[in-house]
Amino acid sequence: MQSNPAFIDVQAVEMVFSTRKGSFHALRDIHLQVQQGEFITLIGHSGCGKSTLLNLIAGLLLPTSGLLLCDKREIAAPGPERAVVFQNHSLLPWLTCFANVHLAVERVFGARESKAQLDARTQAALELVGMGHAAQKRPHEISGGMKQRIGIARALAMEPKVLLMDEPFGALDALTRAKLQDELLKIVARTRSTVVMVTHDVDEAVLLSDRIVMMTNGPAATIGEILSVDLPRPRDRVALAEDPTYVHARKSVIEFLYSRHAHVEKAA
Amino acid sequence: MVSAVFHSPREAALEAAAAAKAAPVVVAAKPVEPRAPRQPFDWRGLWLQIIPPVLGLALMVGIWALLTMKGGAFPTPAATFEAAVKLFADPFYSKGPNDQGIGWNILFSLQRVALGFGLAALVGIPLGFMIGRFGFLNRMLSPLISLLKPVSPLAWLPIGLLVFKSANPAAIWTIFICSIWPMVVNTAVGVQRVPQDYLNVARVLSLSEWKVMTRILFPAVLPYMLTGVRLSVGTAWLVIVAAEMLTGGVGIGFWVWDEWNNLNVQHIIIAIFVIGIVGLALEQLLMAVARRFSFDD
């Protein structure tokens, strides 16, 4: 990792939600620097605020205090340079897969490019995730894994500076998930995207990440530890299964999650 | 394989064994795609579809016939049917403003409904969108809507007469004011229930307000809106009969009242059926439209 200024810079961020039952301190004292081209995963038990942190980077939420920078500019609102892949794909059911991706392409490139170029970009994004054949299908006609691919295509088609993924494979079965992880690795290697991904899957985190950000339990969750995964790329899940670095990284994360910060069921 | 259900288990087992023996041979001999056996026509399903409604109708006519057997003011089904045949033989005659065929009466009523309902849609749907989108407007208008919604259509009629000083606009006004509420309320609820995910997509893409409206809000709200439209048309058709009874003119409601004054009870019963059938047709039409625009996820 070079010492150039961080691409995403999260400084002393606090997040307090005011709800009807009073205020809820979700995140406390978050500091995180992400370099360009880095693959970061946020891992932690449910309710630890990892999705909140992702939404803050996306600009869907604004911090109570602290500062978030992306490419040296303050994150004040969502924008297409920080594309989000949502947990439940969030495709618009009344549009075809093509039209779903095209909506994003049109927004980002519509002012500069011709209609044919926009269509070509859309088709290219669909091909990238292996869904070129389903362009004219509606989301309800394809499987969950396919929907998530379209969601990824929509995000990638915008050529974002950062790809933010909120448990993108959480709702998929294990085999589909593994396949999509492998494809994501290939795509990211090709596009050199900066990725921040929320997950609760230890293997997914170790396989994909350059660094794993482990979060303590909420309320007032914070970053407990950051683990660098120094595995060469491209990574192969079968070969890695017995790799000592992989096994060690995996063990560190499991130890953090289950021994030191085991999820305590709320007593009250 | 389904046919095995109707055989005894022993027979089924024999059959299965035979099929197992035969199967590899068949595969080897004919690698062509197996053609689906032609489905026998589903007589049983059709039977079950048709019999209950016919039975219900027969029951009603039967009870009606039994009750009118001894004679009296109430006409028998047969007499009513005869009157209906005569009536529908010439539905579009016109002998002056107070004596026109039933076809004209229905068409005039439908025209009033279309006008009143159309105006209500024109005002109610945009209003619903605004109430759904802006919390302030919602809190401002909700109490008013709750207050005015349950008011009977007939209570609105004098207001219409007062303002418009004429019967026909007053009837249209009554339909307007009674059929606007379901559209306002359903559209507003639809806008409020647009999944946050879709709105987040809009925010991440930072779509223009126009794109948000046309690509996300409108399609997402459409099913709710159509439910509102359907309820509204039903209400409008309910209201027209009552309104026309009071305002007069050519229309199915006035026709009922006129026939009552003539003591022509057969025609009143026919009118009840006709009103029911037209209402049903309107409902079915809008259901078909709603199905066309529903996106099952």
Q: Give pLDDT tens digits for A91-140.
A: 999 999 999 999 999 998 988 999 999 999 999 999 888 888 989 999 98
Nearest to A139 among B197, B203, B297 (CB): B297
Instruction: Tell me how far CA of residue A48 lies from CA of A14, A180, A219, B20, in angstroms.
Output: 13, 25, 7, 57
Residue A31: pLDDT band (50, 70, 90) is: very high
Q: What share of chain A is helix, strand, coil (3-state, %, to 5)?
A: 40, 25, 40
3-state secondary structure of B40: coil
A25 at interface of B, judged by CB pairs closer than 8 A = no
pLDDT band at B23 (very low <50, low <70, confident <90, very high): very low
Q: What is the DSSP string of B118-156?
A: HHHHHHHHHHHHHHHH-HHHHHHHHHHHHHHTTS-HHHH
Contacts of residue A244, defined as CB under 8 A and 6 or more positions apart, other chains included, come to: none
Which residue is closest to A104 within chain B, CA to CA? B205
Residues of chain B positioned with their CB less than 8 A from the CB of A95: 215
| Residue B4 pLDDT grade (very low, low, confident, very high; cuts 50, 70, 90) | very low
Q: Which value does ipTM take for this structure?
A: 0.82
Taking CB atoms and an 8 Å cutoff, what residues of chain B touch A58? 204
Domain locations in chain B? 1-36, 40-70, 88-292
Class of domain B88-292: mainly alpha
Domains of chain A: 1-81+160-268 (3.40.50.300), 91-159 (no CATH)
Residue B143's pLDDT is 94
pLDDT of res. A263: 66
Whether residue A140 and residue B297 make contact (CB cut-off 8 A), yes or no, is: yes
Cβ–Cβ contact A138 with B under 8 A: yes
Nearest to B206 among A80, A92, A139 (CB): A80
The chain-wide mean pLDDT, for chain B, equals 83
Q: Is the pTM of this model over 0.90?
A: no
pLDDT at B3 over 70: no
Structure tokens at A222: 């914070």
Closest by CA position to A224, among listed A232, A209, A214? A214
Given a cut of 50, is residue B6 above it in pLDDT?
no
Residue A265 is predicted with a pLDDT of: 54
- Classify residue B20 as exposed, middle or buried by CB count within 10 Å of its CB (0-12, 13-18, 19+): exposed
Residue that wins the pLDDT comparison between A69 and A218: A69
The predicted-structure confidence for B180-221, as pLDDT tens digits, reads as follows 999 999 999 999 999 888 989 999 988 888 888 888 988 899
Nearest CA in chain B to A95: B215
Residue bearing tokens 């500076």: A161
Asked if the model's pLDDT at residue A16 lies above 70, the reply is yes
What's the pLDDT band for B27 if we cut at 50, 70, 90? very low
